[in-house]
Amino acid sequence: MEGETFLWLIRHAPVDGIAGTIHAADAPADLGDRAQLEVLRQKLPQDAACFASPARRTVETARALGLEPVQLTEFSEQDFGDWTGRRHDELAATGGETYARFWSAPAHGRPPGGESFEDQVARVRLGLSRIGAGSATLVVHSGTIRAALCIALDLTPQAALRFVIDPLSLTRIDRLATGWRVVFVNQRAA
């Protein structure tokens, strides 16, 4: 790919739903923090390409920022399969050995009917390869941003899971001719 690419990765607004739940793609965003959205909007590059996961919360966040994203499934959150829609405390109490085993090695483990974080990293790598030179804003999930950092820093997937990525935070990475550069991670606009 020719030219340099400057990526502005935004984690979507908090989910408007029950905390501690593995939310489905149709979970809405809580867009109540208008001041934070406005400060974040002002930090974004003008006339940049915009991409988002097809999840409702990412698209709603993008639109609240005044963006009209191209939706790419490669930027979807990790698929938690049969656990989607369930609460972590419920799964810990009733999930038995499968749930405990998953969390002992979350980068490699697969929830029943789902995918591993390693699988997500491979998907995100494909999605990033589809973005051309210039500036691009991505409104995505915490897992998607961790996957992008895994790629940019050539980390193991397990190590990339150590990053904290808050709702409505901004992470900036660049793909240069000489390799990747990480400008900042998890910056809050307020």
- The predicted structure's pLDDT at residue 62: 98
Residue ranges and CATH numbers for the domains of the chain are: 5-188 (3.40.50.1240)
- Residue 154: which region, alpha, beta or left (left: phi > 0; alpha: psi -120 to 50)? left
Question: Residue 54: how many CB atoms within 10 A of its CB?
Answer: 13
**Residuewise pLDDT in 10s, the chain (190 residues):** 578 999 999 999 999 999 999 999 999 999 999 999 999 999 999 999 999 999 999 999 999 999 999 999 999 999 999 999 999 999 999 978 899 999 999 999 999 999 999 999 999 999 999 999 999 999 999 999 999 999 999 999 999 999 999 999 999 999 999 999 999 999 986 5
Q: Residue 181 contacts by C-beta under 8 Å, 6 or more apart in sequence?
A: 152, 173, 174
- The predicted structure's pLDDT at residue 95: 75
Classify 91 as helix, strand or coil.
helix
Classify 71 as helix, strand or coil.
strand
- The predicted structure's pLDDT at residue 84: 96
- The predicted structure's pLDDT at residue 1: 52
Burial 79-112 (b: 16+ CB within 10 A, else e): bbeebbebeeeebeeebeeebeebeeeebebbbe
- The predicted structure's pLDDT at residue 150: 98
- Identify which of 4, 176, 53, 173 has the alpha carbon closest to the alpha carbon of residue 186: 173
**pTM to 2 decimals?**
0.96
Q: Please report the beta strands in 53-126, taking only residues with DSSP state E, as ranges in sequence order.
A: 70-71
Residues facing residue 87 across a β-bridge: 21
